[in-house]
Amino acid sequence: MASQAEHVSQPDPPDDTPGQRKRRIIAAANELLEEEGLEGLTIRAVLRRSGLARRAFYERFAGKDDLVVAVFAETLAEAAAFFEEQMAALPDPVNRLAFIIANLVLGGIRNEGRIGVRRASAIVREHMRLAESRPAELESALRPLLAVIAEQISEGIRTGQLRNCDPVLQATLIYNLIATTVHPEWLMEGEGLASGRGQWLADEIWEFCRRAIAA
């Protein structure tokens, strides 16, 4: 009887709204990624961690992939908020753009303790898979981060520091360059790039981007 009871889903707390339940599921997934990486992220583990019933999960997510997309979107939104917060003291849009690129390469939000190594590694791995299997959802998840990059390019155009171009397109090109160049290396290293290699790549990518969009 005890083993059978382990598989009985507990009812959702009555004061939980649908939005709160979704947040609890995503929060549980984030915790599992931080502790165990992708291998520990299972629907059973998420339900156990969140204390919600299986029904609550499937009312909000079609499956594990949908949850991974939601975690990815939240992580990128956190990154966008991190950049906006950290750039507040940088009045020059070109300097702000350089800051974003360097931190995307070097994992600044991870180094600040906002995202753990295992969660960051999982996000990098899933980015490459989602680019093939869920391109529309990936594009939607990227919008907050791309908007922050595009905003700096737009301001650089207004101040005459950057050439007249499509800011959103350039933001997308910059992000894709970083993703295709840095993510494979990051995965090979397991826990991020070695500091010397990472800084060299950050400098090279920034110089490439700067020359491409400078006025």
Average pLDDT over residues 174-197: 74
Q: Which residue has the tokens 């990486």?
A: 37
Distance CA 26, CA 8 (A): 22
> Hey, what domains does the chain have and what are their CATH numbers?
8-61 (1.10.10), 64-213 (1.10.357.10)
Per-residue pLDDT band at 112 (split at 50, 70, 90): low
- 186-207 mean pLDDT: 75
Mean pLDDT value across residues 122-150: 88
- Confidence band, pLDDT 50/70/90 cuts, at residue 67: very high
Which residues lie closer than 8 Å to 109 by C-beta, 6 or more apart?
78, 79, 82, 103, 115
